[in-house]
Amino acid sequence: MRLGFFLPQIGPLAGPDSITRVAKRAEEIGFDSLWVTERSLFPLAPQTPYPMGDMPDLYKTALDPLDALAFVAGQTSRIALGTSVLILPWYSPVLLARRLTTLDVLSNGRLRVGFGIGWSKDEYDAAGTTWENRGKRMEEALEALKVIWTTDPVEFTGRFYSIPRSIISLKPVQKPHPPIYMAAYVPAALARVGRHADAWHPAGVPLSALLEMFARIKTTAQEAGRDPAALELTVRAFVFPSDQPLGDDRSDFSGTPDQIAADIVTAREIGVSELMFDVMFAPDVRSVDDILARMDLLSRLAKESLAGAPA
């Protein structure tokens, strides 16, 4: 099971020094990937509710995810660089393909592309993208991206996007394209993962519920003529350590080090291919040193708890 870590790209700690320190330390101690998220604004009177309760204050400050990864790419050499997740319907496929391909080329093939559909109508309005038909728009954008990445000359005609027959010779280092991770939770979106993605990338879903949902994705993949066994399960884990043991109603990856270690083992046992730790939302994370301490703890817990466990 690969292990990832989220960069301090959002919130008051976001900045060049914090991102550099976290990225270099993660690569040094053996993490497999680094991750960023996407937030364009913090609506004060949201038209659609934040799906996890109150919207975290961290989202009031957010560095651009792709610019943050480009900054990190030049300071690392091995570790993979991923988005968790870009809201795909906000973007022009041609312009986004150019940015993503540039990242993959400049990082020598280390890009992992996570896409989602988002939840905020306010952010759609600000991006100049219609809220209606966002699922269909996302599916068509995925198709256009794959055409751009895998053909030349490129030509695409759809309902929302079109590309005149053109040369776009800049192609990703990774073939046929960087791995596509997709966040999805409702049936239509889960089916979209099965048709288009290389990995399902849930966040905030209990470990106990993952296998049933993943099975539905694999069924859709098989119906679409794809190999369901090739799909990976990758999980964004929000980590909330505690000095005291938490009860049975605790969320996954919260509690004492022993409880968190047990969740890491459970993730491995149910077939999670990549587990990405996000410590930024814990209220006691107030400095870069706090982040680095959590990183070292999670690295140690993972190594100790997975030693000798089945691959």
**HEC assignment per residue over 133-162:** CHHHHHHHHHHHHHHHHHCCCEEEECCCCE
- Taking only Cα atoms into account, the Rg of the chain, rounded to an integer number of angstroms, comes to 19
Phi, psi dihedrals of residue 180, rounded to the nearest 5°? -105, 120
Single out the residue of 34, 44, 43 nearest to residue 65, CA to CA: 34
The average pLDDT across 58-70 equals 98
State the pLDDT confidence band at 305, using cuts at 50, 70 and 90.
very high
**pLDDT at residue 53 in the model:** 87
What are the Cα distances from residue 168, in Å, to 91, 102, 110? 18, 12, 21
Task: Tell me which DSSP letter residue 56 carries.
Answer: P
Provide, rounded to the nearest whole percent, the portion of the chain with pLDDT above 90. 97
Task: Tell me which DSSP letter residue 310 carries.
Answer: -
- C-alpha torsion angle, residues 93, 185, 195, 133 (rounded to 10): -50
Q: Is the peptide bond before 235 cis (omega within 30 degrees of 0)?
A: no
8 Å CB contact between 135 and 117:
yes
The average pLDDT across 103-132 equals 98
Mean pLDDT estimate for the chain:
97
Cβ neighbors of 78 (< 8 A, separation 6 or more) are 27, 110
**pLDDT surpassing 90 at residue 50:** yes
**pLDDT at residue 17 in the model:** 98
Which pLDDT tens digit goes with each residue over 118-130?
999 999 999 999 9
Domain boundaries defined on the chain: 2-306
**pLDDT surpassing 60 at residue 310:** no
Single out the residue of 294, 287, 299 nearest to residue 242, CA to CA: 294
The average pLDDT across 74-86 equals 98
The average pLDDT across 113-141 equals 97
Query: Is the pTM above the cut of 0.85?
Result: yes
Single out the residue of 33, 27, 29 nearest to residue 5, CA to CA: 33
State the pLDDT confidence band at 143, using cuts at 50, 70 and 90.
very high
The average pLDDT across 91-116 equals 98
Tokens of 108: 């020598």
The average pLDDT across 93-101 equals 98
**pLDDT surpassing 80 at residue 309:** no
The average pLDDT across 184-204 equals 97
Report the topology of domain 2-306.
TIM Barrel (3.20.20)
**pLDDT surpassing 90 at residue 262:** yes
Task: Tell me which DSSP letter residue 18 carries.
Answer: H
The average pLDDT across 281-297 equals 97
**pLDDT at residue 303 in the model:** 96
Which pLDDT tens digit goes with each residue over 19-49?
999 999 999 999 999 999 999 999 999 999 9
